[in-house]
Structure 1
């Protein structure tokens, strides 16, 4: 029996065995036991199946079956198969030269590349500013609030029957419009349909791009429409007011931060964060280490985040270099979210339909309302 006949017979046996097994299941379900005829038939077919398996093994041992593995030619095999060697042995040449390949496993063009899943991403910078403020939703296109302007406290002791001191308190009505941060990109329809991982990554990048811009706007947005009014916008903070002459001769940046913290405490706003550009914080750490001083006021928490004078240091890529902001951010401002980051797509944009393109747009609507400018003190990190 040759190979094709053997495989055909083996397939027929397997079909018969499966049919009798189904018949046995039906008998067990109906009468609670397998009939003797069915049991004997299954045993007979099982014996025949084992016989064919033994014959298949014998064919394989004799080398009658095709083998999947191919042995790569070693250096000696390549040598004796070379045309130059054959010419030398046949006396046609007096010397032979040939090139030996280190690895011979088939043509490179037939080997499929090892394609890795997913997309190797670019940098995603840590965004920290938004976590400093309480966030609440809004359903309007503007936020209006009343802010304390000036409180003149003239409270004083008064004798019995004497006139009491008069204090004054003024307020300002502030209207803060909702800002929109957005961008768009075009991709092919085929990309969106055929490469789900890449399309999802583009969606992620678009969302990140919006929030990366928000990070900068929360610090330095100038409030001129359509910009957000950030913490360093005029009127949203109190200048620290220190000059270089007030900071001593060593570790001036640290002295400045500590003085600002003292002023905030005196004003009734104990600091909950120190916001610095990452490069500036790196220089402060270097200054501490190179000063060779045991500065117990500087440490890291369990998560590796720096703590300075008991207050967390927040590194933000949105903070302008050589500037510092220290404040009670949790009570200084409120973040109003009109819409989170929304990603939409459409082919009804320009000639998208005829070019099989899709426009992806990501946008977010929000506003930062700084209700207590006195709770944030900011300015140059290295004042003149």
Structure 2
């Protein structure tokens, strides 16, 4: 029986070698498969040796029980791993029940032979590294607040560093009804020159030549993003520019603005709506201009739209 014992020991060695192959990160999946196939061929030889000796032992002892040494045939369409074939072999079972045997334990999960497709970032022995991800075209951009202020203002071009214009700063209208040969009241008006400096908004990006070569669409995407950055800063300057170089003078920093009637502190739907309408009235009654746009922050608009009266009813008929 020394040949049987030697065969069982060799099978145990094969199991250890199989484990080492699966853990070896320096081997490619193809190299691992080649080595495991060789071990599988050796396993079959050892199994045949054990089966031959067991058959002889049954004949000598007059046993008629069917041989258990042969590996069970796999169902049609099933592909079994090397480890599974070892565990289901009669030699392995015989070794477990024998008095002079060694236990063979082989664990090989998620190998190429088992047909399991794990995550792409799988480690050694995982078929996920062979599965290429699906690449969707384009770039998913970050979202920013919609730009609106520049579209509300008149636009033009200049080649100068400043823009000068004349305004009527005062108008004294003493026009009245007079008698014949009576004194005619004088009408006085005052003109003043105003000057606004031209500001400069700029940005810069430093992509590599390889980046443009490897991703053709990146050039157009970067150009659009740089223009968008300038438009965002333009929006901020048109509203909040301080007028101190290099900034321009924004709308909220101009002289002659109506006094704010509502502040953010304690803002309610009623206060917001009344404040907006009071400012519209002030423009009509004092400046004699007709407002044609309202710029409002989304959270303030939410406060207005969700405002309710004492009966719990929305002022604007509900947001939906």
| TM-score (structure 2 length as normaliser) | 0.59
Alignment partner, residue 100 of structure 2: none
Question: Following the alignment from structure 1 to structure 2, what is the Cα–Cα distance between the partners of residues 163 and 88?
Answer: 133
Compute the displacement of 1:263 (Å): 1.7
Alignment partner, residue 84 of structure 1: 87
Q: More displaced, 164-173 or 124-133?
A: 164-173
Q: In structure 1, which of residues 105, 117, 122 is the aligned counterpart of residue 142 of structure 2?
A: 122
Equivalences for residues 86-105 of structure 1 within 5 A: 86=89, 91-94=94-97, 103-104=115-116
Higher gyration radius (CA): 2
Alignment partner, residue 170 of structure 1: 190
Verify: 1:188 aligned to 2:200, yes or no: no
Compute the displacement of 1:282 (Å): 2.1
Verify: 1:112 aligned to 2:132, yes or no: yes
Equivalences for residues 298-317 of structure 1 within 5 A: none
Alignment partner, residue 258 of structure 2: 239
Q: Is the 8 A contact 1:146 1:173 kept in 2?
A: yes
Q: Is the 8 A contact 1:84 1:98 kept in 2?
A: no
Partner deviation per Cα, 1:52-103 (whole Å, 9 max, x = no partner) = xxxxxxxxxxxxxxxxxxxxx9995327953221255662235988677585
Q: Is the 8 A contact 2:306 2:318 kept in 1?
A: no
SS of equivalent to 2:283? helix
Q: Which runs of 5+ in 1 are unaligned?
A: 1-72, 305-384
Higher normalized helix content (fraction of residues): 2
Q: Which runs of 5+ in 2 are unaligned?
A: 1-74, 98-102, 118-125
Q: More displaced, 254-263 or 157-166?
A: 157-166
Alignment partner, residue 358 of structure 1: none
Question: Following the alignment from structure 1 to structure 2, what is the Cα–Cα distance between the partners of residues 145 and 151?
Answer: 18
Question: Following the alignment from structure 2 to structure 1, what is the Cα–Cα distance between the partners of residues 89 and 309?
Answer: 75
Residue 219 and residue 288 in structure 1: after superposition, are their counterparts in 2 closer, same or farther (change >3 A)?
farther
RMSD value over aligned CA atoms? 3.5
Alignment partner, residue 301 of structure 2: 281
Compute the displacement of 1:161 (Å): 2.9
Verify: 1:252 aligned to 2:263, yes or no: no
Verify: 1:230 aligned to 2:236, yes or no: no
SS of equivalent to 1:211? helix
Equivalences for residues 185-224 of structure 1 within 5 A: 185-224=205-244
Alignment partner, residue 261 of structure 1: 280
Compute the displacement of 1:288 (Å): 5.0
| TM-score (structure 1 length as normaliser) | 0.50
Partner deviation per Cα, 1:238-272 (whole Å, 9 max, x = no partner) = 2236479xxxx971121111111112122320111
Partner deviation per Cα, 1:315-359 (whole Å, 9 max, x = no partner) = xxxxxxxxxxxxxxxxxxxxxxxxxxxxxxxxxxxxxxxxxxxxx
Alignment partner, residue 15 of structure 2: none
Question: Following the alignment from structure 1 to structure 2, what is the Cα–Cα distance between the partners of residues 226 and 92?
Answer: 88
Residue 148 and residue 290 in structure 1: after superposition, are their counterparts in 2 closer, same or farther (change >3 A)?
farther
SS of equivalent to 2:294? strand
Partner deviation per Cα, 1:80-127 (whole Å, 9 max, x = no partner) = 953221255662235988677585368222111212211121113210
Residue 201 and residue 77 in structure 1: after superposition, are their counterparts in 2 closer, same or farther (change >3 A)?
same
Residue 145 and residue 194 in structure 1: after superposition, are their counterparts in 2 closer, same or farther (change >3 A)?
same
SS of equivalent to 2:201? strand
Q: Is the 8 A contact 2:171 2:189 kept in 1?
A: yes
Choose between structure 1 and 2 for higher RCO, CA contacts under 8 A separated by at least 6 residues: 1
Higher normalized strand content (fraction of residues): 1
